[in-house]
Structure 1
Amino acid sequence: MKRLYFIEPVVAIYAFASFMLYPLIQQYVYRRLWLEITNSTYPVSENTSQCAANSSNHTSRQEEVQKAASLFSMYTDLSSMIPSLIVTLLLVSYSDQRGRKITIIMPLIGTLIYTLSFLTVSFFQLNLYLLIVASFVSALFGGIGTMLGGCFSYVADLCEDGKQKTLRMAVVDMMIGMLAGVASISTGYFLHAAGFNWPFFTSAIFQVVNLLYAIFILEETRVIDRSETLACCQALRNLACSIYSLFAGGSRRRTWVLVLLIITFSSLSFVNTGGLSIVTLYELNEPLCWTEILVGYGSAAGTSIFITSFVGVFLFSLCLPNIAIAFIGMLSVAVSMLMTGFAKTTLTMFLVRIPAMFAIMPFPVLRSMMSKVVSKSEQGALFACVAFTETLSTNGSAASFSRIYAATVAWCPGFVFLLGAGLCLIPMSLLGILKCVHPLDPNDTQALLSEDGTEASDDPPVA
């Protein structure tokens, strides 16, 4: 069978299967906790008026369920954080020596285990807290950070030109948004018509197909000498050396730029992921009280920003430097979170997606900027560090925002979004420092690479 160098189908199917799963998870946990706490079935209606007749006792019980659901989300994120961090760092670094596919295949196996665990708990009505155990086990195979780290390393291997690298990384992000939007809309109707079991099962089928494609059809980008075998200690030593040389082997200026870019990337990821992790709970709470169909439409509207962000990267890259593009995206995140914090009606909640239309732009741009200042042999080590910090920030932010939401939901449900808008000042300030302290000239990429004696690059400037 002829093998292909197309990573996009893997990302597309993964996005569809995952975003079919993510809205279901919070809603399933929410309904199970509602049943356990209130000892009554969850009120399902065809419209958003189910909160209109709520008594004060009902409101109190709803706040209790909101707190329990957010704390459950925090426990799940914390249980998966440590193993996912370790596996991400090891696997993506190891891909420099043994190929990129391992960083893609392993997380797909982990996600499949997680989905099948949800299907089992839902079908047999098992203890809800078994899902925390499932989260820990699946994290032993890596997480979304591991897979995306492998995918972006794969793209970096294939692209020679800097602009091509930026656009293809943006395409990968756009594929996530396109398929996630389709999945989010279909999930709302699927859940409404068939309950939880069939959507979980369908997601598992797509993940099996994706796994088979990654194993048997996707071609490896790095030539692997199978005759070379390393002992475990030697392999770990090589991994540590590759990560160490990424920062210590180059010039001081390159190290400073890399560290600043990684911190900027992870701090923005912390804010963006933390806010997104609370959106579904916020929509289920008063005064919105959305149904599963509205939650699906909301998720789809939210994922449309991947498409608008890709268009933004494509158009802005024709006339603006990368730093300016990233700054516009960060401003988009801040404004949308600020607006979400004050959203009290369905219309306003949908309009929040308008200022968020460029919110994804900074991520492919910052990845491309980092990729341009390291050599091809260091791409795996770089994206291992990026994936490690991204996993740490995303899991840490989801746990932190869940805890803050649990503590503030009674008096100000939108407080976490206002906090997120304020925290956006951190990556925006770091980006300003990078521009002011190290104004990047047209020969910057070549200079950063040549200062430490590594290969020169013909890429355009990173800003």
Structure 2
Amino acid sequence: MGPEVACPWRGHLPHFQVRTWIEPVVASIQVASSLYDAGLLLVVKASFATGGSSNHSTSPSPRGDPEDQQQKAISNFYIIYNLVVGLTPLLSAYGLGWLSDRYHRKISICVSLLGFLLSRLTLLLKVLLDWPVAVLYAGAALNGLCGGFSAFWSGVMALGSLGSSEGRRSLRLIVLDLVLGLAGFCGSMASGHLFKQITGHSGQGLVLTACSVGCAAFALLYSLLVLKVPEPVAKASRKLPAVDTVSGMVGTYRTLDPDQPDKQSVGGHTPSPRRSRPKRTIIGLLFVGAIIYDLAVVGTVDMMPLFVLREPLSWNQVQVGYGMASGYIVFITSFLGVLVFSRCFQDTTMIMIGMVSFGSGALLLAFVKETYMFYVARAVMLFALIPITTIRSAMSKLINGSSYGKVFVILQLSLALTGVVTSTVYNNIYQLTMDKFVGTCFVLSSFLSFLAIVPIGIVAYKQVPWLQYGDRTEK
């Protein structure tokens, strides 16, 4: 299984198979993003530390503590920034997905990469020219108007799904997440050191932001000049109604896949409206589970930078980079989890394992007092990436290949929109509770993570009767 695991799509690509790999684009843009995320936090913190916090703080701290004022200023900045990042893609991402399905698969990827580059350039110019922090909102808006991460990742998922068979699709998509995680880990580990390369307020962060711009520019040029769209992989033979046991949802995908009309007509039966209702129900429940779980993840991830900057942790720049890097370890452990669990568990079981993993880690995070406790909580979240990736894989098996771009971008926009609401709510909760119990947001995330298990559990409970129904209609 060695070569096949390392390259699960081998043997299914055209002659220029290396040029169809999207991994170089994913790796380079994720390095750029991890550098940018760390640089953004540290640049904003440095700006408010020099007196900018008074313009952004809604009200002074009851104790007049400068650290609390700075925390509120950073929190208020991220409320507006996340609103811009989350809402502006709604204007363009779906259109880019539609154009990608209709004309060329690279449209959504290339346009969104242009937005990434412009936003990284904005941070670089802010450091070079000492512009006000508010200019970063403009960079976020440019990124969003070009589709943002919603358009980019839906385009990546579409290319990954096209270039893989149904049996290998869960593994193919988690490989892309693995590349994303490894690149993010490397970028985050280096971010703190790069930020300190130039001392002094005017130049601090210059090397870091310049490296981020360089990686984003490489990703754009590679996607324009090198990347080729893979040929769709032919579907497996439908002669025998054998049960599909790959990566779970046993039988459900086989009997409900809209790309398999020949199966429905084996016994001379015409498609029944009753057969489409379970498929829509599955997709709807998967959407609900993904959105609730994403609320928990976004809330936790957004609050972590603020949490580690204040007491009791009070991390410096290098520690912040290491902390962000620890979040990318989950990409590796989730990949290994899918590799192992897909052999013996259904998709729904793997999704619930990931949700329990994240919910437990978030609950531990709420009570962190020492740095080592933070990493223990992070270690408990080792399978946190499995749910969203597996849900995407499940949806790809229930829709036509020609609709991948639109469906994936709808899911990504739904997650982005709920993420905007979550970020605003969590930042306000954090400001209200940081003097009483700083881990309140993490407790809420833990509750939401366990709540997301409910719709997935319904899918797991209902799928056996549907399998029996499908088998009877095909005989």
* Cα distance per residue 1:301-357 (max 9 Å; x no partner): 121110011000000111111111110000011011111111011111111121011
**How has the CA–CA distance of structure 1 residues 312 and 443 changed in structure 2, closer, same or farther, with 3 Å as cutoff?**
farther
The answer on whether the counterparts of 1:170 and 1:310 sit within 8 Å (CA) in structure 2 is: yes
1:9 to 24, 35, 42: 24
Q: Which whole-Å CA distance do the structure 1 matches of 2:62 and 2:280 have between them?
A: 57
Q: Which whole-Å CA distance do the structure 2 matches of 1:322 and 1:357 have between them?
A: 17
**CA shift at 1:156, angstroms?**
1.1
TM-score (norm 1): 0.83
Q: Where do 1:425-436 residues align within 5 Å?
A: 425-436=450-461
Q: Which whole-Å CA distance do the structure 2 matches of 1:156 and 1:339 have between them?
A: 36
The answer on whether the counterparts of 1:338 and 1:421 sit within 8 Å (CA) in structure 2 is: yes
Q: Which whole-Å CA distance do the structure 2 matches of 1:387 and 1:130 have between them?
A: 26
The answer on whether the counterparts of 1:20 and 1:184 sit within 8 Å (CA) in structure 2 is: yes
**CA shift at 1:443, angstroms?**
8.5
**CA shift at 1:397, angstroms?**
2.2
**CA shift at 1:222, angstroms?**
6.8
Q: Where do 1:224-243 residues align within 5 Å?
A: none
Q: Which whole-Å CA distance do the structure 2 matches of 1:357 and 1:418 have between them?
A: 18
Determine the structure 2 residue equivalent to 1:44. Answer: none
Q: Which whole-Å CA distance do the structure 2 matches of 1:221 and 1:177 have between them?
A: 23
**CA shift at 1:422, angstroms?**
1.0
**How has the CA–CA distance of structure 1 residues 122 and 62 changed in structure 2, closer, same or farther, with 3 Å as cutoff?**
same
Determine the structure 1 residue equivalent to 2:109. Answer: 104
**How has the CA–CA distance of structure 1 residues 100 and 222 changed in structure 2, closer, same or farther, with 3 Å as cutoff?**
farther
Determine the structure 2 residue equivalent to 1:18. Answer: 33
* 1:117 corresponds to 2:142: no
- Between 76-85 and 121-130, the greater mean CA deviation after superposition: 76-85
Determine the structure 2 residue equivalent to 1:240. Answer: none
How many residues align? The count is: 407
SS in 2 for 1:286: coil
Determine the structure 2 residue equivalent to 1:455. Answer: none
For 1:327, the aligned partner's letter is M
Percentage of pairs with the same residue: 26
2:357 to 310, 329, 332: 332
Q: Which whole-Å CA distance do the structure 1 matches of 2:282 and 2:72 have between them?
A: 41
**How has the CA–CA distance of structure 1 residues 212 and 38 changed in structure 2, closer, same or farther, with 3 Å as cutoff?**
closer
Q: Which whole-Å CA distance do the structure 2 matches of 1:250 and 1:275 have between them?
A: 39
**CA shift at 1:172, angstroms?**
0.6
Q: Which whole-Å CA distance do the structure 2 matches of 1:393 and 1:57 have between them?
A: 32
Determine the structure 1 residue equivalent to 2:408. Answer: 383
TM-score (norm 2): 0.81
**CA shift at 1:440, angstroms?**
7.0
1:278 to 290, 297, 303: 303
SS in 2 for 1:4: helix
For 1:376, the aligned partner's letter is G
Q: Where do 1:70-85 residues align within 5 Å?
A: 70-85=75-90
The answer on whether the counterparts of 1:10 and 1:210 sit within 8 Å (CA) in structure 2 is: yes
Q: Which whole-Å CA distance do the structure 2 matches of 1:11 and 1:105 have between them?
A: 12
For 2:333, the aligned partner's letter is T
* Cα distance per residue 1:333-390 (max 9 Å; x no partner): 1011111111011111111121011111112211111110112122222212112112
Q: Which whole-Å CA distance do the structure 1 matches of 2:121 and 2:205 have between them?
A: 12
For 1:23, the aligned partner's letter is A
**CA shift at 1:145, angstroms?**
1.7
* 1:167 corresponds to 2:175: no
2:184 to 169, 180, 187: 180
Q: Where do 1:160-309 residues align within 5 Å?
A: 160-162=165-167, 164-194=168-198, 195-221=204-230, 251-309=276-334
Determine the structure 2 residue equivalent to 1:42. Answer: none
Q: Which whole-Å CA distance do the structure 1 matches of 2:149 and 2:447 have between them?
A: 26
1:357 to 374, 382, 387: 382
The answer on whether the counterparts of 2:333 and 2:383 sit within 8 Å (CA) in structure 1 is: yes
Q: Which whole-Å CA distance do the structure 2 matches of 1:440 and 1:362 have between them?
A: 23
**CA shift at 1:395, angstroms?**
2.8
Q: Where do 1:64-75 residues align within 5 Å?
A: 64-75=69-80
The answer on whether the counterparts of 1:88 and 1:387 sit within 8 Å (CA) in structure 2 is: no
**How has the CA–CA distance of structure 1 residues 66 and 121 changed in structure 2, closer, same or farther, with 3 Å as cutoff?**
same
Determine the structure 2 residue equivalent to 1:226. Answer: none
RMSD: 2.5
Q: Which whole-Å CA distance do the structure 2 matches of 1:307 and 1:186 have between them?
A: 18
Structure 1 segments unaligned to the other structure (5+ residues): 40-55, 224-247, 452-463
Q: Which whole-Å CA distance do the structure 2 matches of 1:139 and 1:286 have between them?
A: 34
**CA shift at 1:157, angstroms?**
1.0
Q: Which of structures 1 and 2 has the larger relative contact order (alpha carbons within 8 angstroms, sep 6+)?
A: 1
Q: Which whole-Å CA distance do the structure 1 matches of 2:196 and 2:373 have between them?
A: 24
* Cα distance per residue 1:94-137 (max 9 Å; x no partner): 32111221111111111111111111111111111111122112
For 1:29, the aligned partner's letter is V
Determine the structure 1 residue equivalent to 2:446. Answer: 421
SS in 1 for 2:399: coil
**CA shift at 1:393, angstroms?**
2.3
Q: Where do 1:50-65 residues align within 5 Å?
A: 60-65=65-70
**CA shift at 1:202, angstroms?**
0.8
* 1:374 corresponds to 2:399: yes
Q: Which whole-Å CA distance do the structure 2 matches of 1:120 and 1:335 have between them?
A: 41
**CA shift at 1:15, angstroms?**
0.9
Determine the structure 2 residue equivalent to 1:458. Answer: none
Q: Which whole-Å CA distance do the structure 2 matches of 1:249 and 1:120 have between them?
A: 58
For 2:223, the aligned partner's letter is A
Structure 2 segments unaligned to the other structure (5+ residues): 1-14, 55-60, 199-203, 233-272
**CA shift at 1:59, angstroms?**
7.5
